[in-house]
């Protein structure tokens, strides 16, 4: 595990850096951690030739949890962009799942010379509540932090999402709430509009469970191909890691 310190925050972002060729950068979703979600993907036979960089966003996984940080999508994207500059990354394939997809779009817009391709796995594109973000954002920050975070963890565990419950439990409660609120807030341009404006080849990965999503037809109309991950729901990294790795490799190819 490697560290990149953000001096003005007195905090560090932590990441796994697996040596290889072209950089393949992973950004996780709300409540998850790249250090948990993506190692099995990164070591897949077709992705081993790449330099995989698995980033735990501030507030999540092994990264620090600065209380004064906004945990907004823009600030997280800024930190990721600074890390990529520090690592002298160029022509990277940036893979973002869910919230990580929204952040990936912002990173690509901020430093397009460093990003050669975007792969978005059910990214948040529109300002509307998701299954997780909608539950969290309905609470005031203090109430969520004091009591509802633990309740949300137990709710996920009771629903059978034990792995996700563990990563949420490890996340900073304030990071969960501030991230959820900002993720679904109205913004101009939207993540979707920003994606459409990018001069970077992009692809969207959608789970079989979400095959009826309008983006299956809508995104290809804007020149963004879509691939369906068989045998999976939104948590495709757990449901079908091999299928997700194959789809990423195909997207790069």
SS3 letters for 10-72?
CEEEEEEEECCCCEEEEECCCCCCHHHHCHHHHCCCCCCCCEEEEEECCCCCCCCCCCCCCCC
Q: Does residue 95 register a pLDDT over 90?
A: yes
pLDDT digits over 103-115, tens only? 999 999 999 999 9
Q: Does residue 212 register a pLDDT over 90?
A: no
pLDDT digits over 137-163, tens only? 999 999 999 999 999 999 999 999 999
Q: Does residue 130 register a pLDDT over 90?
A: no
Whole-angstrom CA distances from 227 to 121, 242, 250 are 10, 14, 9
58/101 Cα distance (integer angstroms): 16
Of all residues in the chain, the percent with pLDDT exceeding 70 is 100
Enumerate the domain spans of the chain: 2-128+186-252
Q: Which residues pair with 24 in a beta bridge?
A: 52, 93
Residue 211's pLDDT band, with cuts at 50, 70 and 90, is confident
Mean pLDDT of the chain: 96
Residue 184's pLDDT band, with cuts at 50, 70 and 90, is very high
Q: Does residue 253 register a pLDDT over 90?
A: no
Q: Does residue 131 register a pLDDT over 90?
A: no
Q: Model pTM greater than 0.85?
A: yes
Q: How do beta strands 202-207 and 226-229 pair?
A: parallel
CATH class of 2-128+186-252: alpha beta
The owner of tokens 């290809």 is 220
Residue 54's pLDDT band, with cuts at 50, 70 and 90, is very high
């Amino acid at each position: 595990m490697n560290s990149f310190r953000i001096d003005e925050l007195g905090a560090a972002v932590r990441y796994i850096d697996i040596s290889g060729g072209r950089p393949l950068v992973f950004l996780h979703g709300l409540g998850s951690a790249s250090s948990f979600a993506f190692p099995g993907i990164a070591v897949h036979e077709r992705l081993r030739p790449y330099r995989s960089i698995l980033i735990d966003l501030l507030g999540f996984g092994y990264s620090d949890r600065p209380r004064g940080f906004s945990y907004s999508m823009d600030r997280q994207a800024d930190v990721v962009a600074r890390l990529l500059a520090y690592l002298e990354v160029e022509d990277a394939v940036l893979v973002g799942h869910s919230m990580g997809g929204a952040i990936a779009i912002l990173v690509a817009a901020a430093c397009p010379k460093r990003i050669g391709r975007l792969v978005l796995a059910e990214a948040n594109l529109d300002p509307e509540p998701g299954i997780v973000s909608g539950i969290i954002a309905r609470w005031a920050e203090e109430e969520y932090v004091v009591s509802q975070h633990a309740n949300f963890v137990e709710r996920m565990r009771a629903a059978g999402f034990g792995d996700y419950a563990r990563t949420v439990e490890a996340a900073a409660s304030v990071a969960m709430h501030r991230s959820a609120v900002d993720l679904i807030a109205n913004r101009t341009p939207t993540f979707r509009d920003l994606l459409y404006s990018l001069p970077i080849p992009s692809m969207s990965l959608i789970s079989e469970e979400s095959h009826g999503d309008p983006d299956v037809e809508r995104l290809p109309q804007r020149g963004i191909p879509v691939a369906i991950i068989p045998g999976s729901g939104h948590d495709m990294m757990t449901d079908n890691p091999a299928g997700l790795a194959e789809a990423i490799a195909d997207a790069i190819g």
